[in-house]
Structures are given as C-alpha cells and as structure tokens.
C-alpha cells in the first residue's frame, strides 16, 4: 500500500518497539508537554506507585494542549481519587481468578477462551479492571504454553480463541506467529480474536510482520480495538485499520463508559460516527467494572441508561454498540437496558 506523506510518522522504517520503550512515565514530563502545572491537578505519586503512569508519545500528541480536562489525559493521569477505598470495589471485580484452569487461560464462557498472551500494556489506563491481575503468576514458560494448548485440544466445544492480556500485541510477532500456528492445528478452533489497545496508542504496531502471520492463518480473524473517545482516532490509526481490513480482518471497537471522559451523548455519538468513518464497527459499550481505585470514573446506572437511549435516538442501529456489564458467574456479558 502506498504510504502518503501525511502518514510519515508510521513510515516503513518506524519501529513500534522503539516507541514502546520511549513511553512517558513521569507526570511532570507529561504535564509540562501539555503546558499544564502539577499544582492544577490532583496528581498522586502514591497512586502511580502501585500502578505506574505509562503513555506513548503518539497518544500524548492527540491530547489538547493546555486542557486539564482533556478526555485522553484523564485516562492516564494518576490522581488522588484513586486512593479512595470503596467497600463495593474489589481487586478482582469480574472474579477471573476462579476461571484460570491452566496457566495462561481464562475460560469463563462456554465456547471461547481468553489466552493471556502478554502481561504488558503500552499504556496504563487508570480505570483498568486488570490493574490488580496477578500477571506474574501468568507469565508463561514454553512448557506452560504447551499445557494451555493441550487444554484447548481437549475441549471440542471451544471454537474461538481470544488473545488478551495485558495487551496481546505487546508480545512479539515471532511468538504470536508460533502460537497462532499451534492453535490453527486444532481442528475445532475456527476463529481468532485479538483484543488490543496497542494499535490505538501506537499505530505503527500494525506492521508487515504482524500482517504476515495474520494474513496466513486459516483462522477467521477479528481485531477488537479499545477506543473511548473520538479524539483518540487520528490519521495514523486510520492507516493502521486500513491495513488490517486489506488483510481481510474485521475491525471492531469496545469502549468503557467513563465519567469525565465520554459520559455525554454528544461524545458517544461523535465516537460512533468517527469509528465508522475509520472503518471500525462499534461492538460493546462496557459499564465500568467495580475495580478498586477506579470509583471516580463510575456513572450511576440510570444515567448510563439515559445516555444509551440518547445514542439510540441519534444513531443508526448499526452504530449503536451493545451496552453490557460483566457479571461474575454469568455465561456471557449481560446486556443492559433491554
Ligand atoms: C468478554 C469476555 C469474553 C468474550 O465475550 P464476547 O461476548 O464473545 O465478546 C470471553 N471471555 C471472557 C472471560 C470475557 O470477559
Ligand atoms: S489491559 Fe487494556 S485497558 Fe487495561 S491498561 Fe492495558 S490497554 Fe489499558
């Protein structure tokens, strides 16, 4: 595909690993770059001590200079409100630890499993329900991956594997290509789904190495991106999506409903519209999981339903994501407001 001058930041020579290693990890540096003062925001070093600040430069460039309320900034800046303790919020809100039959696998729904392919992320999202996940225990040896694959082989009801994490695309292509080839050899697995935020925050992740193994697998593949606000979408992301589409991969999006980030009908409608312009289909709008430290992002349930109805009134049905919540013990996500 020809690379236009406007897409130079993701030219063929750029390397996503270099961008990943150059993530901003200091609140001072981040705020300085945005022309903001630490005193203006309730930045909390203590919150950053347990879950560090981490954001790629390319994502920072999409934040608005001088705006302390920027919806992208809010997703990454550690603030004092995270330290509030709330008895209704837990460290494992969706009770994943109960569904970890072998290391590296979360099997909760009947015919699809999560594979925890990488413990790392390119960005640390403050609302993330995995902020307390015991990733160290899920760091896999080759032997453990073979055991995980055996688990899949012995469960004929599983027809879809979902690469998850952390962020699965933080893993290198050599490993992903090996793992995918192993999964492909299991006849009852038909689909491969990749849940990732990495191409959103570092679009150069969609490079020729990644496309090579994705294109060559017999598995029908779907990439589910994670975008919360229209401002996260820029030309370089559109370029990356186009490459996925050209490789025959469907691209969907899931969003988390977040106070102060996207809790208005206009923000949600603008997001759906922009996703469609970028050839991405809205899939899920998640209600926040009650994770300790993220209470300040929560929205009362009746307001969430209200926002959803407004979206329905302003968008064609195919641009309205499903409003869902993850309820521990359910056989699927639970659709809200129907
Ligand atoms: C969300 C989720 C899935 C995928 O569910 P879909 O409704 O098919 O998108 C699978 N496993 C777990 C544990 C999940 O949380
Ligand atoms: S798992 Fe996803 S939501 Fe959580 S920190 Fe990583 S990229 Fe953000």
Q: What's the whole-number mean pLDDT along residues 195-209? A: 98
Q: Is 292 helix (H, G, I), strand (E, B) or coil?
A: coil
User: Per DSSP, what are the bridge partners of residue 196?
Assistant: 225
What's the number of CA atoms in the CB half-sphere (13 Å) around residue 123? 27
- Whether residue 166 is preceded by a cis peptide bond, meaning omega within 30 degrees of 0, is yes
CA 256 – CA 263 distance, rounded (Å): 10
Alpha helices, DSSP H, located in 138-221: 142-153, 173-184, 198-201, 208-216
CA 160 – CA 158 distance, rounded (Å): 6
Instruction: Answer whether 114 contacts ligand 1 (Cβ < 6 A).
Output: yes
Q: Is the pLDDT of residue 10 over 50?
A: no
Burial class (CB in 10 A: 0-12, 13-18, 19+), 317: exposed
CA 286 – CA 274 distance, rounded (Å): 18
pTM given for the model: 0.93
Give phi and psi for 163, each to the nearest 5.
-75, 125
Instruction: Answer whether 48 contacts ligand 1 (Cβ < 6 A).
Output: no
Q: Could you tell me the distance, in angstroms and rounded to a whole number, from the CA of residue 223 to the centre of ligand 2?
A: 15
10 Å Cβ neighbour count for 132? Answer: 16
Per-residue model confidence as pLDDT tens digits over 184-201: 999 999 999 999 999 999
Burial class (CB in 10 A: 0-12, 13-18, 19+), 258: buried
Nearest ligand 2 atom to the CA of 198 is: 7
Instruction: Answer whether 130 contacts ligand 2 (Cβ < 6 A).
Output: yes
Provide the token pair at 21.
Answer: 């290693």
Q: Could you tell me the distance, in angstroms and rounded to a whole number, from the CA of residue 95 to the centre of ligand 1?
A: 13
Domain coordinates in residue numbering, the chain? 95-335
Residue-wise DSSP of 41-67: TTB-HHHHHHS---B-HHHHTTSPTT-
Q: What's the whole-number mean pLDDT along residues 296-319? A: 97
Per-residue model confidence as pLDDT tens digits over 31-79: 999 999 887 778 788 888 888 999 999 999 999 999 999 999 999 999 9
Q: Is the pLDDT of residue 92 over 80?
A: no
Q: Is the pLDDT of residue 216 over 60?
A: yes
Nearest CA to ligand 2 atom 1: 166
Q: Could you tell me the distance, in angstroms and rounded to a whole number, from the CA of residue 94 to the centre of ligand 1?
A: 11
What rounded mean pLDDT belongs to the chain?
91
Per-residue model confidence as pLDDT tens digits over 138-154: 568 999 999 999 999 99
Instruction: Answer whether 73 contacts ligand 2 (Cβ < 6 A).
Output: no
Q: Which CATH number fits domain 95-335: 3.40.30.10, 3.40.50.970, 3.55.50.30, 3.20.20.70?
A: 3.20.20.70
């Amino acid at each position: 595909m020809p690379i236009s001058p406007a897409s130079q930041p993701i030219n063929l020579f750029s390397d996503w690993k270099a961008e990943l290693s150059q993530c901003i990890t200091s609140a001072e540096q981040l705020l300085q770059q945005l022309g903001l003062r630490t005193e203006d925001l309730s930045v909390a070093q203590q919150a950053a001590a347990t879950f560090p600040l981490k954001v790629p430069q390319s994502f920072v460039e999409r934040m608005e200079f001088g705006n302390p309320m920027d919806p992208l900034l809010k997703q990454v800046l550690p603030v004092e409100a995270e330290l509030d303790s709330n008895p209704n919020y837990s460290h494992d809100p969706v009770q994943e630890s109960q569904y970890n039959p072998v290391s590296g696998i979360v099997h909760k729904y009947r015919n699809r499993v999560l594979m925890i392919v990488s413990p790392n992320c390119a960005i640390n999202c403050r609302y993330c329900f995995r902020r307390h996940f015991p990733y160290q225990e899920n760091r896999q040896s080759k032997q453990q991956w073979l055991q995980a694959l055996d688990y899949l082989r012995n469960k004929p009801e599983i027809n879809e594997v979902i690469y998850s994490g952390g962020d699965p695309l933080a893993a290198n292509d050599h490993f992903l290509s090996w793992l995918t080839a192993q999964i492909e050899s299991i006849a009852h697995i038909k689909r491969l789904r990749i849940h990732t935020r990495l191409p959103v925050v570092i679009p150069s992740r969609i490079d020729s190495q990644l496309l090579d193994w994705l294109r060559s697998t017999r598995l029908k593949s779907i990439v589910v991106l994670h975008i919360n606000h229209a401002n996260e979408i820029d030309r370089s992301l559109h370029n990356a999506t186009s490459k996925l589409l050209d490789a025959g991969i469907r691209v969907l999006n899931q969003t988390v409903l977040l106070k102060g980030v996207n809790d208005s009908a206009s923000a949600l409608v603008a997001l759906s519209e922009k996703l469609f312009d970028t050839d991405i289909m809205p899939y899920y709008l998640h209600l926040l999981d009650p994770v300790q430290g993220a209470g300040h992002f929560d929205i009362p349930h009746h307001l969430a339903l209200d926002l959803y109805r407004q979206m329905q009134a302003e968008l064609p049905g195919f641009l309205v994501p499903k409003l869902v919540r993850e309820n521990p013990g359910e056989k699927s996500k639970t659709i809200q407001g129907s």
